Amino acid sequence: MTTRAEKFAGLSVAIVTPFRDGQVDYARLREQIDFQAEAGVTCICPVGTTGESPTLTHDEHQRVIAESIEAAAGRMLVMPGTGSNATAEALRLTRYAANSGADAALVVCPYYNRPTQQGIYEHFRALAESVDIPICVYNIPTRTGRNIEPETILRLAELPGIGMVKEATGSMDQASQILSSTNLTVLSGDDSMTLPLLSIGARGVISVVGNLVPADMRQLIEAFEAGDLATARSFHNRLFTLCRDLLGLASNPIPIKRALAMVGRDTGEVRLPLVSLEAPLADKLQKVLRAYGLELQKSLA
């Protein structure tokens, strides 16, 4: 069965939004995008969870989309986050992304208002029918308070505009049901689950750790695709603790932003209500980075 959005297979990186003095640092954003292009990633995903999209103003959200597309300059695909718990707002952002030249839209399940499965279906159907770029259904119930049930995703798969699923439920059964019953491209939404999901038919990952070590995650995927399972497992085992702690020490993107600062790629502060990583957790993160073999800034060593 041919997957529907094969060009998005591989490594996509959910990039951070740099801030400086309370404002989006667009110069540093471009530096981050250049870093990803040089690493050979398939796609960047700005203004998602890792990009702190809930704290961006409407104007900032749109400008980050536009700046990301311009900075990518055709070197990689761009799939910005355009989700909202209000369908009208998600429609506005998704249309803006499409009109700005985005290659796809990453759309999280509506959060907080806890729609029914029919409401979720109608939400995504409205988006899929409004633009010509593929929609990636982002299912992360720990963030949204509502799982998009497999049966709903199977219904969505009948819509031509739905091309992908970012699978972040942690359920291999759910992923297996989607993969066995649809031709959607499934991408891991959790770095440490990438190899297990690849083993059942997923095609890549939308990665947080890729902000830090994109080449290693890319090599994991490429080794698996080449049939070199020993090398893929080696990368998985090496990456595991780093991936776990970047998402487990505190809410994403608090740890990844601190890690980037520790290795000399400071992307600024997080925005309230997120706060900086507490000192004991920062000490643990330093140890994890050192153990991985990353060189820290002398002032932080």
SS3 186: strand
Quote the CA–CA distance of 46 and 16 in Å, as a whole number: 7
Distance from C-alpha of 80 to C-alpha of 98, rounded to nearest angstrom: 10
Handedness of CA 94, 97, 100, 102 (dihedral sign): negative
Cβ neighbours around 160 below 10 Å, total: 11
Q: Tell me which of 96, 121, 166, 257 is the catalytic residue.
A: 166
Query: What is the C-alpha R_g of the chain?
Result: 18
3-state DSSP helix/strand/coil % of the chain, to nearest 5: 50, 10, 40
CB atoms within 10 A of CB 44: 30
Q: Is 138 a catalytic residue?
A: yes
Q: Residues with Cβ < 8 Å from 279, sequence gap 6 or more? A: none
Beta strand pairing status for 10-13 and 23-24? unpaired
Q: Does 166 qualify as catalytic in the annotation?
A: yes
Q: What residues form DSSP beta bridges with 300?
A: none
For the residues of 44-67, what is the DSSP string, one character each? E--SSTTTTGGGS-HHHHHHHHHH
Find the Cα–Cα–Cα–Cα dihedral 158, 160, 161, 164, rounded to 10°.
Answer: 60
Q: Which of 96, 121, 138, 257 is catalytic?
A: 138
* Residues annotated as part of the active site: 138, 166
